[in-house]
Each structure stands twice: as structure tokens, then as C-alpha cells.
A and B are shown apart, each in its own frame.
Chain A
Amino acid sequence: MSGLVAPRSPGTHFWRVFFIGGLISYRALFYWISPWQYIPTMLGAPLFQILFFVYLGRAAGVGSTNFFVVGNSIQICSMAGIYGMTMAIANERSFQTLSPILATPSNRLALFLGRGLPVLISALQTCLFGFLVSALLLGFRPSLPDLPGLALAVLVTSASCTGFGMALGSIGLRVRDVFLVSNIAYFLMLLLCGVEVPIGRLPLLLRALAQLLPLTHGIAAGRALAAGAGFLTALPNILLELLVGCAWAAAAYLLFAFFERSGRRSGAFDRL
């Protein structure tokens, strides 16, 4: 019997939901997609953030310009990672489209991970912009042989922040004002992850917490690479960042599955 829609193999269906579904959800749910929003928020604010902290470091007489340039240029990827993923998941609930989506038989992993890809690309764009303006305005010159390694550190850190953002977004399936949580997480990471303050200056408890957060190891790797320490020196931190990112993505998937199950039982998806 022929249906209206030709049956597809499960593999094709997975990738279709992953790529096309992810792109559509990004276009529909990412607040800052129009150039009028994207340029001031995703490029303008990060540019001034880099300048602000470089000058703050100079005023306090702490760290080098490169310390703040690398820290902030990598950290700004978390803007897309955290807020973008929060929007990509939690906004389904705000816009009351969550129930219809969860009523479909689509593969949840594809549905979930597909939303991360456009966000990851956006995070990489922001990082690249940060490094470019730092090179133009602040004389940032990383060692050329270590550029591919720095690019890898940025990619892994962006992915790791996206995983963290997925976890926060999943919380949005239950919590009403998830953007408050995202905001607090975003600003706390400035303090805890070694972006503006050397981690060694933090109290022990906060230092331990920083090890579990994205950015910490990626920034450490980026700084080592920018200083010309070599890829092998930075590799352990890159691998640790990858591990942290995978752990957050796995936690996010479990949270998503848990909140989906409990939301179906309690009918919480439509509560605003």
C-alpha cells in the first residue's frame, strides 16, 4: 500500500530530523537571529567585553593582554552555547509548541542534538570574531604553528558550552524562568572558569567546582597554545574539556528524557 509520504529508512529519518529539524528550530527559536539583534548582541557586546576586561587587567596590573584576550575570546562562545541552547529547547515550551513536538515519533537524540549544531556554528563565529578584533585592536599575535591547535581548543570548548546549554535548556522543560538560571550561570562562569581571574586565586571549593564546568580547561589549553607551549602541552586540557562537554551533554539528554516523561504524566508542558 502506498501512503502519502514515502517511507524512509530510520537512518535517513534520523539525519533529516538532525539537520533540517535543527535548522528550522534555530530559525524559529533563536531570538537574536535577525541582523538587528545578532550584530549588537553576538558581536558588539563581546567586542566591548574583551576591551573592558583587557583594560581592567591593565588597571589592576594583573595578567597580560593575551591572558584576557584568550580568556574572553573563548568565553564569548558560551553566549551562543548557553543562551542559544536554552532558547532552542526551553522556548518550545514558551511558544506552546512542545506538546506537538513530543507527540511525534521522532528520534529524541536527533531532535535534541540537531538543535546544537547551528548553535555550535554561531558560537564558533563569535569566537572567531573575538580573536580577529583582538588581533586588529589589541595586537594579539598567537604563534602560527599553534593556530590549528587553538582552533581545536575553541571548537571543543564551543561544543562543551553547547552541551552545558542543553542541560540548562532541558531544565526549561520544567522551570518557568529558565533564562534567570542561564544568566546566573553565564556570569558565574566569568568568575569561576579562569576567564578574568587566575583559577589559583579562587578558594578551594570554587576551584574544584571550576573543574566541572565547561570553559575552564578549554581556556587553559587556549592560553598555553597562544603562548606557544605546543599542542602536546595543551592536549590534556583539550581532552578534559571534551570530557566535561560530553558529561554535560549526557546529563542534558537524561534530564530531557526525565522531564519529558514526568511532563507527560503531569501535563506540565502547557503550563506557563
Chain B
Amino acid sequence: MSAGAELARPVFRRGPAPLAWPRTLLTGWFFQLKMQAQSGFMVLTALVQPLIFASIAMTDQQAGNRTLPLLYYALGAGIMGIWSTVVFGCGGVISWQRHQGMLEPLVMAPAPFVLVLLGITLGTATVGLYSMGATLVWGWLVFGAQLHFASPLLFVAAVVVTVVSLGLLGLVLGSSFVLYRNSNAISNMLEYPVWLITGLLVPLSLLPGWTHPLAYLLAPTWGVEALRAAAIGGDSAIPLLWCLVASAGYLLLGIWLVRVVERRARQHATLNFQ
């Protein structure tokens, strides 16, 4: 190929139009997965931190007088890890893009910004799967948790739906973080309240009634319920369905929010604010 023809070739190959969006999403997801897997902070958030919380919960369970199974805590701690990676990953990635001066080019690129963000948040949520695997293996090895899944297929389906729903919830958070310069502070504060009110380690019945409507709006509530039902026994179809409904809601809200904040950030020239 001559030098002229080489220069004339587009940098990004344009495929059939229907495949352009999935390709953008898939590329963003994979790129994010590779980046996050090499970040010491994310590995800590996804691996070490959930193991510590799982150990605390399981030790307390063994010392206490309640009889919730250890698997109950292992699964809850796993979702805690996914939530942490989402909440820090979404806020952190956008701050980092802004810090690197990449946020403006991403917003200005022809690919819809919402797809770029969605790839980032889904990739981040997928990294959180480390947590799920780690807490299950840790619970089995160290605490002797029984890893007999009542319905393995439904369990896998519940894992996939939960990760996607958390990634979509991350999209809602991430789109808000674009405008907020102190997003890492909000990330720092958002971990514990969501862990608490979504019943990841504490049954919802122990929490005050006014927290329940909030819990029902958050995907981790339904995700962990579906996972527990599929693993320990129970009906996982209803929580799975609610998780999907919540995901659809997050997607619509995320698309709207991204559009609004993108326009506002362009109008006020706040995209590159440090």
C-alpha cells in the first residue's frame, strides 16, 4: 500500500451501522476491564476489602446467636465488592479522564457519550466479579461455608443480571459525577449507606421501615436477593425480574442524565475543570 493510500485510510474502521454501537460498547468495556485489572487500588477494592468484610461478617456470625448461613454473608460481601468497584470506578474514571484532559475529546467524539460511559461502568462492574469469586472461595476455605447451589443456572443468570444492573446504576452515578468536581468524596460516602440499606449483610427486616422504599429502588437489593434465592433456595424469578426492571429504569435515567449534564458542561465550559 502506498504512503498516500495509507494516509487516506480512516483511523477507525467503520463497520455496518447496526454494529457500530455494540462495537463501541464492547471496546469500551474491554478497555476498561484491562485498565482496571491493572490498578492496584481497584484490585484492593475488589479483592482485599471484600475479603476483610466477609471475614468480619462470618466471624460475627459464628460468634453470634443467629443462624443465617455463611453463604448468605459470602454473597452479600461479594456484592459489596462489586458496589465498591462501581462507586469508585465510575467517579474515579471520570475524574481521571478529566485529569488527563481526555473528557473533552470523549464528549466531542462522534460516538454517543452515553455509550462510552456505559462501557466504562459495565467494565468496572465486571471487575467487581473478582469480589464475588473471592468471597465465595474465602468463605469455603477459611470458614467452611457450604457451596452447594440450589440452582446453578439461575445463579449464573442472577450474577450476570446483577452485574449489568450495577453497571447501569454506575452510569447514573457516573453521569452525575461529570459535573461534580469532588466526586471522590461522594464515592467515599456512598459505600456504607448502600451496603446497609440494600440488605447485603443486614436483613432488611432489621432496618427501619422508611429505608425500605429506598432499598427497593436500588438494584443491589434485588440482585442479592436473586443470588441468595438461587444459591440457598427460594424463588429467584421475582427478584431477577425486579432487577431487570430497575436496570431498564437506570438505562433510561442514565441516557437522560448524560444528555443533560453533557449539554450543561458544554454550556458552562466545566468539562476540563480540575
Decide if A133 is an interface residue (CB 8 Å cutoff). Answer: no
Are B66 and A59 in contact, CB atoms less than 8 angstroms apart? yes
Are A55 and B185 in contact, CB atoms less than 8 angstroms apart? no
Are B48 and A197 in contact, CB atoms less than 8 angstroms apart? no
Indicate whether A58 sits within 8 Å of B202 (C-beta atoms), given known contacts A40-B186, A41-B189, A48-B193.
yes
Which one, A37, A180, A202, contacts B41 given CB within 8 A? Answer: A180
Against B, the Cβ 8 Å flags (1 = close, 0 = not) of A164-184 are 000000000000010110011
Are B192 and A48 in contact, CB atoms less than 8 angstroms apart? yes
Are B182 and A51 in contact, CB atoms less than 8 angstroms apart? no
With CB as the reference atom, state the residue of chain B lying closest to A43. B189
Decide if B147 is an interface residue (CB 8 Å cutoff). Answer: no
Report the tally of A-B residue pairs with Cβ distances under 8 A: 103
Are B56 and A191 in contact, CB atoms less than 8 angstroms apart? yes
Instruction: Give the Cβ gap from B188 to chain A, nearest Cβ, in Å.
Output: 4
- The A53-71 residues at the B interface (CB cut-off 8 A) are 55-63
Which one, A52, A180, A184, contacts B195 given CB within 8 A? Answer: A52
With CB as the reference atom, state the residue of chain A lying closest to B56. A196
Decide if A144 is an interface residue (CB 8 Å cutoff). Answer: no
Against A, the Cβ 8 Å flags (1 = close, 0 = not) of B52-80 are 10011101111111101000000000000
Decide if A8 is an interface residue (CB 8 Å cutoff). Answer: no
Identify the interface centre among B41, B68, B185: most chain A CB within 10 Å of its CB. Answer: B185
Which one, A34, A59, A63, A190, contacts B206 given CB within 8 A? Answer: A59
Rounded to whole angstroms, the CA-CA distance of A37 and B193 in the bound complex is 17
Which one, A36, A56, A183, contacts B202 given CB within 8 A? Answer: A56
Decide if B252 is an interface residue (CB 8 Å cutoff). Answer: no
Against B, the Cβ 8 Å flags (1 = close, 0 = not) of A134-173 are 0000000000000000000000000000000000000000
Are B182 and A197 in contact, CB atoms less than 8 angstroms apart? no
Are A201 and B62 in contact, CB atoms less than 8 angstroms apart? yes
Instruction: Give the Cβ gap from A109 to chain B, nearest Cβ, in Å.
Output: 32
- The A213-268 residues at the B interface (CB cut-off 8 A) are none
Are A55 and B202 in contact, CB atoms less than 8 angstroms apart? yes
Chain B residues within 8 Å of chain A by Cβ, number = 35
Which one, B44, B49, B56, B66, contacts A61 given CB within 8 A? Answer: B66
Are A55 and B56 in contact, CB atoms less than 8 angstroms apart? no
Are A187 and B48 in contact, CB atoms less than 8 angstroms apart? yes
Decide if A45 is an interface residue (CB 8 Å cutoff). Answer: yes
Rounded to whole angstroms, the CA-CA distance of A44 and B185 in the bound complex is 9
Decide if B203 is an interface residue (CB 8 Å cutoff). Answer: yes
Decide if B201 is an interface residue (CB 8 Å cutoff). Answer: yes
Decide if A188 is an interface residue (CB 8 Å cutoff). Answer: yes
Instruction: Give the Cβ gap from B125 to chain A, nearest Cβ, in Å.
Output: 20
Rounded to whole angstroms, the CA-CA distance of A187 and B55 in the bound complex is 11
Decide if B104 is an interface residue (CB 8 Å cutoff). Answer: no
Indicate whether A40 sits within 8 Å of B202 (C-beta atoms), given known contacts A62-B60, A183-B41.
no
Rounded to whole angstroms, the CA-CA distance of A37 and B182 in the bound complex is 6
Decide if A107 is an interface residue (CB 8 Å cutoff). Answer: no
Indicate whether A59 sits within 8 Å of B56 (C-beta atoms), given known contacts A34-B182, A45-B191, A187-B48.
no
Rounded to whole angstroms, the CA-CA distance of A56 and B57 in the bound complex is 7
Are B56 and A45 in contact, CB atoms less than 8 angstroms apart? no
Decide if B196 is an interface residue (CB 8 Å cutoff). Answer: yes
Rounded to whole angstroms, the CA-CA distance of A201 and B181 in the bound complex is 43
Decide if B237 is an interface residue (CB 8 Å cutoff). Answer: no
13 more contacts with CB within 8 A, not counting A48-B196, A60-B66, A190-B56, are A32-B185, A40-B188, A41-B185, A52-B192, A56-B57, A56-B60, A59-B66, A59-B201, A62-B61, A187-B49, A191-B52, A197-B56, A201-B59
Give 19 pairs: A residue, B residue, CB < 8 Å, sorted on A.
Answer: A40-B185, A40-B188, A45-B191, A45-B192, A48-B191, A48-B193, A51-B192, A59-B202, A60-B60, A60-B61, A60-B63, A60-B66, A60-B68, A62-B65, A177-B41, A179-B41, A183-B48, A184-B48, A187-B52
- Hey, which bits of chain B sit against chain A, CB under 8 A? 40-41, 44, 48-49, 52, 55-57, 59-66, 68, 181-182, 184-186, 188-189, 191-193, 195-196, 201-203, 206-207
- Hey, which bits of chain A sit against chain B, CB under 8 A? 32, 34, 36-37, 39-41, 44-45, 48-49, 51-52, 55-63, 177, 179-180, 183-184, 187-188, 190-191, 196-198, 201-202
- 5 smallest beta-carbon distances between A and B, as pairs: A62-B64, A48-B192, A60-B64, A61-B64, A40-B189
